[in-house]
Amino acid sequence: MKDKENFIKELVERVSGILGESAVVRATSLYKNNDKSENVLEITDTGSRSGCLIYIDSYYEDFCEDVGLDMIAEYICRQYKRQVVSIASYADRHRCILSNFEKARHRIVFRLVSATMNEDSLKDVPYIRILDLALIFCVKLDADEGYNMWTRITSKVMDSWGIRENDLLGAALRNTPVLLPVSLKDMESVYLEIAEQNGYKKEQAGQLLNAALLGIERKPMYVLTNSSGTYGAAAILYPNILKHFAEIIGENLVILPSSIHETILVPWDDEIDLKDLKDMVMEINRSEVKREEWLADNIYLYDRDYNSIRLFGQKTIDGTGVFYLTELETIAKEEAYDKAVI
């Protein structure tokens, strides 16, 4: 296999040669979820100081398949020029939004990720620990093309705003359910929708579902996510969503962390083998879900009487293994931010 380090070094030189003094090009690593890193080219326009990140690992694979380095460099430059035009149009607006907390506070939302699989990246961001998970914060930025951009709030940004984690949590608890409304559907409906979207008729989709569940006891399952379907696992922390749903069905819940994008809720009764469900989550993570989209290898038990989530089979650092969802509201009420200081 061709040397990746030399490929990246030569690619930087070729792209820099094509763009000349109009842009600064450097290679760096970008950490994604679960501390997975990807190689990127960071290209910055010298005039506007706007820039973009271009992922290059797939280009290395092309290079190993004998695609020419010059061809790859030229394609990246065309990609950059297309992006930098659109980026420049909203870069100033985004910088203004991120300049202080007052301008950003109504756009702050939370995401739920693994705490144990993100130990390195969590060192640089404010977060709230919830069992073996971590609640992190992002700012929603609108782009001119009609799609959304998100930027993660780092500890450096939080310090520049003169606020603390509880201020971020207070804003995010208000904003996230509004900006990313909850979506809760039964598993069968979701499966049929996906099958129909892939060209199957309703009758065919039903037959596929029955075949997939052949020999499996049909327990009701519900998919909980948000309207965008992205980082929707955080919806389990929307105020009272689990409590209201559990009261409607009259049972406590088992929470299966399908991915960072969604969870699956199962009514919890004595007939359910929790160990089997945990094993199923681990198996699906490794066979069906990309590593950067894993949320956890564990399962969680929701108790409607105590409005609490318990980690199955493990304990937290304090020895309880239980997180009371009212704790989020308690933390948020400790907001220290004062508008007068902005």
Q: Which of 118, 148, 179 is the last residue of a domain?
A: 179
**124 and 217 share one domain:** no
Record the tokens describing residue 55, joined without a space.
Answer: 């992922």
- Domain around 8: 4-91
Q: Per-residue confidence at 341, pLDDT binned at 50, 70, 90?
A: very low
Most confident of 200-204, 220-224, 304-308: 304-308
**129 and 221 share one domain:** no
C-beta of residue 298 within 8 angstroms of C-beta of residue 315: no
- For residue range 136-146, what is the model confidence (pLDDT) as tens digits? 999 988 655 44
**204 and 327 share one domain:** yes
C-beta of residue 136 within 8 angstroms of C-beta of residue 124: no
**228 and 325 share one domain:** yes
User: Is residue 119 in a domain?
Assistant: yes
User: Is residue 49 in a domain?
Assistant: yes
Q: Which of 179, 212, 229 is the last residue of a domain?
A: 179
User: Is residue 96 in a domain?
Assistant: no
Strand-pair category, 51-55 with 37-45:
antiparallel
User: Is residue 189 in a domain?
Assistant: yes
Query: How many distinct structural domains can be found in the chain?
Result: 3
Share of the chain above pLDDT 70, in %: 81
Share of the chain above pLDDT 90, in %: 43
Residue 272, pLDDT score: 84
Residue 202, pLDDT score: 55
CA distances to 155, 168, 169 from 127, in Å: 9, 9, 9
User: Is residue 339 in a domain?
Assistant: no
- For residue range 6-54, what is the model confidence (pLDDT) as tens digits? 999 999 999 999 989 888 999 888 777 877 778 888 888 887 666 778 8
- Rg (the chain; Cα; Å): 23
**82 and 156 share one domain:** no
**148 and 167 share one domain:** yes
- For residue range 58-81, what is the model confidence (pLDDT) as tens digits? 988 888 888 899 999 999 998 888
**227 and 306 share one domain:** yes
Q: Which of 59, 91, 123 is the last residue of a domain?
A: 91
Element (H, E) at 255: strand 252-259
Residue 115, pLDDT score: 94
C-beta of residue 144 within 8 angstroms of C-beta of residue 89: yes
User: Is residue 342 in a domain?
Assistant: no
